[in-house]
């Protein structure tokens, strides 16, 4: 990667929208001037991650990580600084050419090569479907009603029958068999003497990560081969628990619609997108995992599950419900009538009727009651207790009192017991869980965590004054003209605040008003303090008076420390009998005493 000048890096920062960038990773909600969400860099239940659009800076009050758009990508994607600049440059139309003097590590180079191999494999399958001997596959897709547009959008392909078609293609492009095995594209034969293609005579469905990079494949058999669906095995890049089929295409629609529609299979998602339901993704044939829910939480807190109506689909939906609720999302379950799967229902009934099903989807409690009573309404006490035990954790997790009360009433009605009985059992359940809940609350208390991890003791008057002084300057830079006449960098005791103030003194006003650029010049610790300052809520009124108070405290505290130092020197001079030095130090002490009392600089 070639040399990147500061001017180019700063121009990219001017063009990038940090809120839009971070929204691709974190679900952000506006609160006042800033946006807040759950931090992507540490586990938390209460949002402490702040993004300031006017300053183009992010900061987490929980783990103290902060910086500009480059820093975010470096942390989130594991990129080097030049890689982050180049990536964002491409995003805003500024091309930064690569050169032989690349900054990429060997590990990053190897990983990039693996992505390129998977992309080449996907192109091979796609081209084979469209232009080669893929009639059988094209006929199958045509019967399933999949349009040519969807074939291209999802880059569907065909793995031809035969043992080494893909091997021959990729090795001719310079790939080695070890790489292909590592990516799950080939399998070593029983004798250990050679390899053969994993996917043969199958419809190929590329599986991408949230960024749209191909990480693996799904293959649907076109004959009686088992299994009917075959996925890439677990690899360095492919882990089903961390992926959702179609997410790279659905992200925008999920954010715009306010919810994600989670389906069971590939074809369900393709059909949904074809019918204009573009917020659909698939959990790759499994119940939703914590990792998949975490992916969705970047874009929404509302999830609608639409699995097949068979027993396996019902069980998969039930397994995912508790995870979704536990991770702070609202969840509904769409039940397709007549036992049809979503793909089939869409093609027979169309999008309008399917959207009506979405609107009438079961809430979590209702679906659990529905599933539990399919074989009949519980009649005996043990049967009622068994159902009640299934829903008590979900009732306890409902935060809104009105919603919880309505859910309790529905449980009581379905089980034909009194409302008081359900409340009593819920209280018993909560008491049993009390110890665990208390531990959780202690962990979630972010205030103590912040105070311990932040290196400035804000209870100390001098540190508080230094911190508040800088914070106010950064919210209203016109105040700087008042401050710099009286305060020098040497007045600051905290090293990070001192370095930030020095940088402000040395910078042009235009640069200071663009903190995303200024943060580029700071070390890690200063970046953390600077970004926190920019995201703190500072006093909005009487700012000049507060500034004067801060200046007085800083000058007096700095003077007292200087006074202590002069007294120490005076004692040493008296002890050594140096009368000239004693006289000089006494004069300095007198002048300093006057400054402290008058508040002069």
Residues 255 and 297 occupy one common structural domain: yes
Q: Is the pLDDT of residue 219 over 70?
A: yes
Rounded CA separation 245/454 (Å): 40
Q: HEC states along 545-572?
A: HHHHHHHHHHHHHHHHHHHHHHHHHHHH
Angle between helices 364-372 and 401-415 (to 10 degrees): 10
Q: Which of 368-372, 487-491, 577-581 has the lowest mean pLDDT?
A: 577-581
Residues 118 and 201 occupy one common structural domain: yes
The answer to whether 207 touches 247, Cβ cutoff 8 Å, is no
Report the pLDDT value the prediction gives residue 449, as an integer from 0 to 100.
27
Domain count, the chain: 5
Domain-embedded: residue 98: no
pLDDT tens profile 361-418: 999 999 888 888 877 888 888 888 888 988 888 898 888 888 889 999 999 999 989 9
Q: Is the pLDDT of residue 22 over 80?
A: yes
pLDDT tens profile 99-121: 544 444 566 678 889 999 999 99
Report the pLDDT value the prediction gives residue 206, as an integer from 0 to 100.
97
CATH of the domain at 146: 3.90.980.10
Q: Check residues 380 and 125 and name the one with the higher pLDDT.
A: 125
Q: Is the pLDDT of residue 554 over 90?
A: no
The answer to whether 162 touches 197, Cβ cutoff 8 Å, is yes
State which residues form the domain around 17.
Answer: 6-91
pLDDT tens profile 299-312: 888 999 998 777 67
Residue range 321-348: mean pLDDT, rounded: 86
Report the pLDDT value the prediction gives residue 444, as an integer from 0 to 100.
34
Residue range 24-28: mean pLDDT, rounded: 88
Q: Which of 95-104, 116-125, 458-467, 481-490 has the lowest mean pLDDT?
A: 95-104
Domain-embedded: residue 99: no
- Bond preceding residue 227 cis, omega within 30 of 0: yes
- Listed residue (465, 449, 586) closest to 61, CA to CA: 449
Supply 381's token pair. 């006490």
The answer to whether 201 touches 195, Cβ cutoff 8 Å, is no
Domain-embedded: residue 96: no
Report the pLDDT value the prediction gives residue 598, as an integer from 0 to 100.
57
Report the pLDDT value the prediction gives residue 597, as an integer from 0 to 100.
60
Q: Check residues 319 and 513 and name the one with the higher pLDDT.
A: 319
Q: Which of 204-208, 379-383, 551-555, 590-594 has the lowest mean pLDDT?
A: 590-594
Q: Which of 69-78, 196-205, 354-363 has the lowest mean pLDDT?
A: 69-78
Residues 504 and 528 occupy one common structural domain: yes
Buried b (16+ CB within 10 A) or exposed e, 110-149: eeeebeebbebbbebbbebbbeeebeebbeebeeeebeee
In the chain, % of residues over pLDDT 70: 90
Residues 507 and 565 occupy one common structural domain: yes
Supply 238's token pair. 């492919």
Report the pLDDT value the prediction gives residue 276, as an integer from 0 to 100.
96
* Residue that terminates a domain, selected from 442, 466, 488: 442
* Residue that terminates a domain, selected from 402, 420, 442: 442
pLDDT tens profile 140-162: 999 999 999 999 999 999 999 98
Domain-embedded: residue 82: yes
Supply 207's token pair. 């599986």
Domain-embedded: residue 45: yes
Half-sphere exposure of 241 (CA within 13 A, CB side): 6
- Extended strands (E) in 143-277: 157-159, 186-188, 195-197, 202-208, 214-221, 229-231, 260-263
Residues 355 and 379 occupy one common structural domain: no
CATH of the domain at 279: 3.40.1360.10
Q: Is the pLDDT of residue 512 over 80?
A: no
Residue range 22-30: mean pLDDT, rounded: 89
Q: Check residues 585 and 354 and name the one with the higher pLDDT.
A: 354
Domain-embedded: residue 254: yes
Instruction: Give the pTM.
Output: 0.64
**Chain mean position to CA 127:** 35
Domain-embedded: residue 97: no
Report the pLDDT value the prediction gives residue 511, as an integer from 0 to 100.
54
The answer to whether 516 touches 13, Cβ cutoff 8 Å, is yes
pLDDT band for position 245 (50/70/90)? Answer: very high
Residue range 89-100: mean pLDDT, rounded: 72
Element containing residue 31 per DSSP (H, E): strand 29-31
Rounded CA separation 99/144 (Å): 47
CATH of the domain at 591: 1.10.860
Residues 257 and 350 occupy one common structural domain: yes
The DSSP symbol for 35 reads E
Q: Using DSSP bridges, classify how beta strands 66-67 and 57-60 pair: parallel, antiparallel or unpaired.
A: antiparallel
Residues 488 and 520 occupy one common structural domain: yes
Residue range 417-422: mean pLDDT, rounded: 90
Report the pLDDT value the prediction gives residue 451, as an integer from 0 to 100.
33
Q: Which of 140-154, 229-243, 497-511 has the lowest mean pLDDT?
A: 497-511
* Residue that terminates a domain, selected from 58, 91, 124: 91
In the chain, % of residues over pLDDT 90: 30
Return mean pLDDT, the chain. 83
Residues 166 and 110 occupy one common structural domain: yes
Supply 523's token pair. 């070390």
CA-based end-to-end distance of the chain: 50
Residues 226 and 306 occupy one common structural domain: no
Report the pLDDT value the prediction gives residue 454, as an integer from 0 to 100.
34
Report the pLDDT value the prediction gives residue 349, as an integer from 0 to 100.
92
The answer to whether 84 touches 11, Cβ cutoff 8 Å, is no
Report the pLDDT value the prediction gives residue 397, as an integer from 0 to 100.
85
Rounded CA separation 104/479 (Å): 43
Strand partners, 188: 195
Q: Check residues 1 and 387 and name the one with the higher pLDDT.
A: 387
Residue range 200-226: mean pLDDT, rounded: 91
| Residue 385 CB neighbours (<10 A) | 14
Residue range 229-243: mean pLDDT, rounded: 90
Residues 387 and 472 occupy one common structural domain: no
- Which residue reads 């009105």 in tokens? 402
pLDDT band for position 49 (50/70/90)? Answer: very high
Report the pLDDT value the prediction gives residue 508, as an integer from 0 to 100.
62
Q: Check residues 134 and 137 and name the one with the higher pLDDT.
A: 137
Residues 333 and 409 occupy one common structural domain: no
Supply 536's token pair. 């703190």
Q: Using DSSP bridges, classify how beta strands 49-52 and 34-37 pair: parallel, antiparallel or unpaired.
A: antiparallel
């Amino acid at each position: 990667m070639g040399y990147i000048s500061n001017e180019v890096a700063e121009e990219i920062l001017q063009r990038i929208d940090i809120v839009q960038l971070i929204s691709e990773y974190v679900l952000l909600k506006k609160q006042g001037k800033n946006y807040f969400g759950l931090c992507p860099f540490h586990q938390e239940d209460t949002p402490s991650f702040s993004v300031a659009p006017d300053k183009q800076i992010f900061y987490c009050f929980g783990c103290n990580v902060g910086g500009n758009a480059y820093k975010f990508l470096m942390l989130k994607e594991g990129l080097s600084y030049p890689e982050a600049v180049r990536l964002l440059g491409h995003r805003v139309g500024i091309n930064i050419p690569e050169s032989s003097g690349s900054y990429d590590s060997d590990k990053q180079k190897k990983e990039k090569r693996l992505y390129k191999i998977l992309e080449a494999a996907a192109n091979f399958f796609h081209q084979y479907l469209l232009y080669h001997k893929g009639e059988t596959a094209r006929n199958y897709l045509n019967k399933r009603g999949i349009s040519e547009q969807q074939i291209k959008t999802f880059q569907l392909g065909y793995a031809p029958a035969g043992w080494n078609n893909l091997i021959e293609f990729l090795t001719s492009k310079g790939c080695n068999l070890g790489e292909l095995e590592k990516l799950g594209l080939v399998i070593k034969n029983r004798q250990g003497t050679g390899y053969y293609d994993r996917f043969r005579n199958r419809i190929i469905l590329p599986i991408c990560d949230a960024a749209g990079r191909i990480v693996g494949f799904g293959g649907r058999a076109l004959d009686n081969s088992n299994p009917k669906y075959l996925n890439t095995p677990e690899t360095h890049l492919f882990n089903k628990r961390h992926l959702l089929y179609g997410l790279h295409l659905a992200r925008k629609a999920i954010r715009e619609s306010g919810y994600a529609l989670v389906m069971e299979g590939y074809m369900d998602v393709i059909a949904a997108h074809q019918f204009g339901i573009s917020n659909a993704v698939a959990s790759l044939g499994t119940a939703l995992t914590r990792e998949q829910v975490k992916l969705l939480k970047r874009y929404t807190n509302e999830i609608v599950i639409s699995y097949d109506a068979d027993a396996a689909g019902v069980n998969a939906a039930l397994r995912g419900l508790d995870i979704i609720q536990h991770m702070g999302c609202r969840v509904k379950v769409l039940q397709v009538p007549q036992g049809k799967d979503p793909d089939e229902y869409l093609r027979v009934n169309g999008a309008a009727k399917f959207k009506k099903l979405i609107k009438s989807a079961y809430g979590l409690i209702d679906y659990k009651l529905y599933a539990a009573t399919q074989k009949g309404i519980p009649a005996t006490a043990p049967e009622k207790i068994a159902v009640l035990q299934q829903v008590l954790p979900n009732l306890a997790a409902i935060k809104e009192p009105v919603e919880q009360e309505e859910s309790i009433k529905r449980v009581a009605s379905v089980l034909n017991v009194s409302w008081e009985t359900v409340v009593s059992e819920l209280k018993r359940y909560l008491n049993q869980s009390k110890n665990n809940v208390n531990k959780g609350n202690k962990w979630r208390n972010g205030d103590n965590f912040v105070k311990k991890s932040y290196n400035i003791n804000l209870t100390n008057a001098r540190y508080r004054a230094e911190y508040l002084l800088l914070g106010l300057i950064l919210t209203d830079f016109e105040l700087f003209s008042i401050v710099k006449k009286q305060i020098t960098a040497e007045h600051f005791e905290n090293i990070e605040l001192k370095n930030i103030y020095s940088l402000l003194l040395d910078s042009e006003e235009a640069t200071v008003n663009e903190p995303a650029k200024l943060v580029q010049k700071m070390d890690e610790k200063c970046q953390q303090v600077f970004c926190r300052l920019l995201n703190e809520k500072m006093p909005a009124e009487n700012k000049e008076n507060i500034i004067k108070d801060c200046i007085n405290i800083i000058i007096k505290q700095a003077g007292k420390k200087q006074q202590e130092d002069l007294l120490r020197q005076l004692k040493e001079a008296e002890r050594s009998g140096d009368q000239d030095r004693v006289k000089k130090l006494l004069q300095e002490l007198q002048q300093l005493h006057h400054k402290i009392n008058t508040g002069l600089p």
